[in-house]
Amino acid sequence: MKPKALVLRGAGTNCDLETASAFRYCGAKAEIAHINELLKGNVNVEDYDILALPGGFSYGDDISAGKIFAIKIVKLKKNFEKFIKSGKPVIGICNGFQVLVKTGFLPEDKNYKRNATLFLNDAGHFICKWVKVRINKKSPCIFTKGLPDVFELPIAHGEGKFVPSDEDALKDLIENNLNALIYVENPNGSIADVAGICNSRGNLLGLMPHPERTFFSVQSGTKKLKDFLSVGYTFFKNAVDYVK
């Protein structure tokens, strides 16, 4: 039986189709649902094996990026806590990462205390470009297994600067290798060059770059196109294989 992936969207989400397509290509049965369907009880997150919070500008990024979407998710906090604690893969991409941070799911805290934010880029404006990132080989993250040491991913955000609440929060990330993805050339001023972080179990990942936008080699930012599939494929295939 195919693993079931839920791609959760809200008003303003614009990467849900690409994210669902990525999971389908990797062998999952992917469905897209609006957060309101969960709030109404028409969809239950616990019926799925994988959860994705895709990129976009949910609710116009009013107040701050991902904040309104996060408020809605907090109403179903116990359901999401259970899903994460069960070890099922969860990925938040760009706006999805912002949502995970503003719900307190990332960085990991046993009481889900919010220990970071994603703030305005140091440049003071929206950035859309390809950036070099490297993986933390010591990270427990299931999504980054088997990726090259250094590769390129596209970014597209105005509030991507990762800022931990204090030195202790940053120390915890670094010492436990929860900084799963690191900028080689920091585009937004993120503290410690953080591009993505995971939980200690490795099943929960939030990252600002977009792996779903470089799934096939023809989408790649590099000129050398040797293979049909690009690095983005690995993120999604790892999640599907992990469930299987």
Active site residue 15: no
CA distance 208 to 27: 24
Pairing of strands 204-207, 194-198: antiparallel
Active site residue 210: yes
Catalytic residue among 26, 152, 198, 210: 210
Active site residue 198: no
Query: Is-contact 40 72, C-beta < 8 A?
Result: no
Query: Is-contact 117 101, C-beta < 8 A?
Result: yes
Tell me which residue of 19, 23, 18, 16 sits closest to 244, measured CA to CA. Answer: 23
Catalytic residue among 15, 26, 94, 141: 94
Annotated active-site positions, please? 94, 210, 212
